[in-house]
Amino acid sequence: MRVHVIGLGGAGGRIVDRLAADHHGDRFLQGVSAFDTDMASLESLQTLGPDRRYRFGDAAGGDGLDGDLHAGRELGRAHASELGRAMDDENPSIAEAFVLVVGLGGAAGAGAAPALAAELGRLYDAPTYVFGVLPTPTETEAGANDDAPRRPLAEKNAARTLEALSDDVDAVFPFDNAAWLKSDETIVDAHDRVNGVVVERIAALFGAGEGDDDAVTPQQVLDASDVARAVGDDGEIAALGYATQPVEPPETESRFGLGLFGSKEPEKVDTSAAVSAIETVIRKATRGKGTIEVPDGRADRTLLVVGGPPAWLNREAIADGRRWLAEETGSGAILSGDAPTPGSEAVFAVVVRSGIDEPDRLREIRDSIA
């Protein structure tokens, strides 16, 4: 799936810069851009060149907005068309989806996200998804005992941004920063590690099925329409789970992945080992720590992607995994795809759930403006 990923504000810019560093040249990255009002934040990016960074909002004087979401919203509305034009040299019309990455508790990125999403919807037929990083509770607490900067408006900004985005984007993937912090970490300490987790999830979902080896034929091809059907188009919350399981890759494999179309069979893999690996990753991706909690595990719609060395992608095990996932989530139908990756040393699973009950953390954030 070819996506144009846009980092908005300081947090969004750092994440897409890491994405560009870790996945440079990968086919799923149709385009990468970073937009911010803060020149210093843009100049601190290490991978994206000047032609992929764009400062907007001269009225902000080149600095940040100090948590003023109203100012960010005004700048977003004033400069949405300008930001759309700033992407033109990356051929955005080719993208099958746009992915906005933004810190929801900020001002510049969170303020501009709804207007930019509306502009992208006006210009292109492709869906727009948001990976929104939630603020941690300690960021809004004035007396907390750590060195993290205080952002007293962060939760209120996040609540208002989530409400505004629901009208202009197809789906929102919230990422709960607090759930990924270790007991002795502040958000400042954990930035690099947690940003790496966000990047890994974005690449796992949108990079599945976009391998470099065209000779490998998936049994069920994952495409943009599958993701769209799974997450819907009404601005709903979606949760993303991901897990990997190391395996020993066969020394030789069929050039046609699962051996369906070629005369050369892949080297045999022990069936029980393949079944165990696939069962493990599906359960870990479903029940393990995801981008946001899923109350009771249930969802209206679910997407499952399983990938790894082709000889390890046991069809019966994947079918059993789909049946188990349907029971686990209560979803009436499970959309699925596979992603053969020759030479890989791990089996992986991606589980996307949409139409979920509101997670406690989102309820807490929405209550901040109640």
Helix axes 360-367, 154-165, angle to 10 degrees: 110
Domain contains 191: yes
- Half-sphere exposure of 358 toward its Cβ, with a 13 Å CA cutoff? 9
In angstroms, the Cα distances linking 41 to 12, 17, 77, 183 are 10, 11, 21, 28
Q: Which two tokens stand for residue 206?
A: 């949108």
Do 50 and 168 lie in a common domain? yes
> What crossing angle do the helices spanning 108-123 and 69-86 adopt, rounded to 10°?
40
Find the mean pLDDT for residues 315-332: 95
Which of 58-67, 98-107, 133-142 has the highest mean predicted lDDT (pLDDT)?
Answer: 98-107
Residues 6+ away with beta carbon under 8 Å from 49: none
Q: What percent of the chain has pLDDT over 90?
A: 77
Task: State the Cα–Cα distance between residues 287 and 325, nearest whole angstrom.
Answer: 10
Query: Using 50, 70 and 90 to split pLDDT, how confident is the model at 262?
Result: very low
Is 244 a domain residue? yes
Say if residue 197 is in the same domain as residue 261. Answer: no
- Which of 54, 50, 123 has the alpha carbon at shortest distance from 83? 54
Is the dihedral angle over the CA atoms 223, 127, 32, 93 positive or is it negative? Answer: positive
Mean pLDDT, rounded, for 161-176:
97
pLDDT in tens, 283-298: 999 999 999 999 999 9
Domain count, the chain: 2
CATH of the domain at 309: 3.30.1330.20
Q: Does some domain include residue 227?
A: no
| Helix, coil or strand: residue 277 | helix
Based on the fold, state whether residues 192 and 274 are members of the same structural domain: no
**Residue 231 pLDDT > 50:** yes
Residues 132 and 274 in one domain: no
**Do residues 140 and 247 both lie within one domain?**
no
In a domain, 309, yes or no: yes
Shared domain check, 315 and 191:
no
CA distance 130 to 177: 15
Query: For the segment 33-45, what is each residue's pLDDT rounded down to a tens digit?
Result: 999 999 999 999 9
- Listing DSSP states for 100-155 in one string gives EEEETTSSHHHHHHHHHHHHHHHH-SS-EEEEEEEPPGGGG-TT-SSSSPP-TTHH
CB-based contacts of 108, cutoff 8 Å, min separation 6: 8, 9, 10, 36, 37, 38, 57, 60, 64, 65, 72, 75
Q: Residue 154 corresponds to which tokens in the numbers above? A: 């962060």
Its pTM stands at 0.92
Per-residue pLDDT for 184 more than 90? Answer: no
| Span 11-22, pLDDT tens digits | 999 999 999 999
My answer on whether 49 and 141 are in the same domain is yes
Q: Residue 25 belongs to a domain with what CATH number? A: 3.40.50.1440
Quote the mean pLDDT of the chain.
90
Domain that holds residue 129: 3-207
Residue 237 has phi, psi (to 5 degrees) of -80, 135
Structural domain contains residue 294 = yes
Say if residue 113 is in the same domain as residue 248: no
